[in-house]
């Protein structure tokens, strides 16, 4: 089994139909080092505008354009901005296993964080001028959760909390180890560890990713910055997630009970990595929680969510 499958956590599209008259449009945002990123953005489906959401999606080289209207339809009173990785257009539909060699070489957490930080600065600067009194949330989906603490630490005032969807909150090295053990592929994971620690060039491709990618992942801190950060955390996951072991979610959830800032969890029974459980769309439960918060944001992100 390729170790890529231990980490390939691209966004899964829900099956329900779209609603609302407002649609996403693509726009360019500044990235790092003079590059540009693509983003999707739309206004609220139902007035008034109550809050803003900036989304950091999961891994892979496909865009969210083909299903963004359906995916985010439950965020009725939100302005929604969805960042995309460098080189990924929102309309792209390339499967994760078929990403181009150029994308594979450019894709690693430090580069994604640098680009997202630059784009986020532009988004928040514009929003402070136009909607300074409107609170906003930073949402990470799967791999996007791994960027949340570093991005949150670089933002200015107005950030009301972080939403972690289908990401464990553990350091990715530890979550990957747990998934390898769950699948019986500890030897593959150990081989990756040796490869990333070895003398190979950053450009060498191992298990579908560059060694630069694996070296970033092996050293990337997520758990401690999240536990120590001042931001309220809403954590949503499915207990039938095929990509992240439920034990990883539970481990972080237990540790997060002792953080100083609020932590609340939505554990979705029977839901997979895309938060789908048969005919039940768990995504909409998450969005409903955000809509409830948006009506009275002064109460705090976790006021209406009970840990379960």
pLDDT of residue 15: 39
Give residue-wise pLDDT tens across range 140-197.
999 999 999 999 999 877 899 999 999 999 999 999 999 999 999 999 999 999 999 9
Those residues whose C-beta lies under 8 Å from the C-beta of residue 152, and which sit 6 or more positions away, are 138, 159, 162, 229, 231
CB atoms within 10 A of CB 269: 11
Query: 87: which DSSP letter?
Result: T
The closest of 88, 64, 108 to 209, measured between CA atoms, is: 108
pLDDT of residue 127: 74
**Angle 300-304-308 (CA atoms, 0-180°, nearest 5)?**
120
Give residue-wise pLDDT tens across range 195-224.
999 999 999 999 999 999 999 999 999 999
Bridge partners for 136 per DSSP: 52, 159
Q: How far apart are CA 272 and CA 277, in angstroms?
A: 6
10-residue mean pLDDT series, the chain (308 residues): 37 43 89 96 96 96 97 97 97 96 97 97 82 90 98 88 98 98 98 98 97 98 98 97 97 97 96 97 96 95 71
Q: How far apart are CA 159 and CA 168, in angstroms?
A: 21
**Angle 66-128-29 (CA atoms, 0-180°, nearest 5)?**
40
pLDDT of residue 20: 43
pLDDT of residue 129: 67
Element (H, E) at 294: helix 282-295
pLDDT of residue 73: 96
Query: 17: which DSSP letter?
Result: P
Distances in Å between the alpha carbon of 146 and those of 128, 185, 199? 25, 23, 26
Bridge partners for 42 per DSSP: 80
Q: How far apart are CA 104 and CA 238, in angstroms?
A: 29
Give me the domains of the chain, ranges plus CATH numbers.
Answer: 21-90+100-166+221-299 (3.40.50.1820), 172-219 (no CATH)
pLDDT of residue 306: 55
Distances in Å between the alpha carbon of 248 and those of 163, 195, 254, 286? 17, 24, 10, 20
Cis ω before 15 (30° cut-off from 0) = no
pLDDT of residue 10: 46
Q: Which value, to the nearest 10 degrees, does the dihedral of the CA atoms of residues 171, 114, 103, 248 take? A: 10
User: In angstroms, how far apart are the furthest CA atoms of the chain?
Assistant: 56
Burial (Cβ within 10 Å: 0-12, 13-18, ≥19) of residue 224: exposed
Those residues whose C-beta lies under 8 Å from the C-beta of residue 32, and which sit 6 or more positions away, are 111, 114, 115, 117, 118
């Amino acid at each position: 089994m390729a170790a890529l499958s231990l980490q390939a956590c691209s966004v899964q599209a829900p099956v329900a139909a779209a609603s609302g008259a407002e649609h996403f449009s693509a726009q360019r945002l500044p990235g790092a080092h003079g590059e540009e990123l693509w983003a999707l953005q739309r206004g609220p489906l139902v007035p008034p505008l109550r809050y803003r959401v900036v989304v950091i999606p999961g891994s892979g080289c496909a865009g969210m354009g083909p299903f963004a209207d359906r995916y985010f339809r439950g965020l009725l009173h939100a302005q929604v901005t969805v960042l995309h990785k460098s080189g990924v257009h929102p309309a792209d539909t390339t499967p994760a296993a078929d990403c181009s060699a150029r994308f594979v070489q450019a894709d690693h957490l430090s580069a994604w964080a640098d680009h997202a930080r630059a784009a986020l600065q532009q988004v928040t600067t514009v929003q402070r001028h136009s909607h300074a009194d409107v609170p906003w949330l930073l949402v990470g989906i799967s791999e996007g959760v791994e960027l949340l603490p570093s991005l949150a630490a670089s933002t200015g005032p107005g950030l009301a909390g972080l939403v972690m969807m289908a990401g464990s909150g553990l350091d990715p090295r530890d979550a990957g180890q747990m998934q390898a053990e769950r699948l019986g592929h500890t030897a593959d994971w150990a081989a990756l560890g040796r490869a990333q620690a070895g003398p190979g060039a950053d450009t060498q491709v191992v298990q579908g990713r560059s060694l630069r990618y694996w070296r970033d992942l092996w050293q990337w801190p997520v758990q401690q910055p999240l536990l120590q950060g001042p931001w309220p955390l809403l954590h949503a996951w499915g207990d039938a997630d095929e990509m992240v072991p439920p034990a990883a979610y539970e481990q972080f959830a237990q540790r997060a009970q002792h953080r100083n800032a609020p932590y609340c969890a939505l554990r979705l029974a029977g839901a997979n990595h895309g938060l789908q459980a048969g005919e039940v769309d768990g995504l909409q439960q998450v969005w409903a929680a955000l809509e409830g918060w948006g009506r009275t944001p002064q109460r705090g992100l976790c006021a209406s969510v009970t840990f379960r």
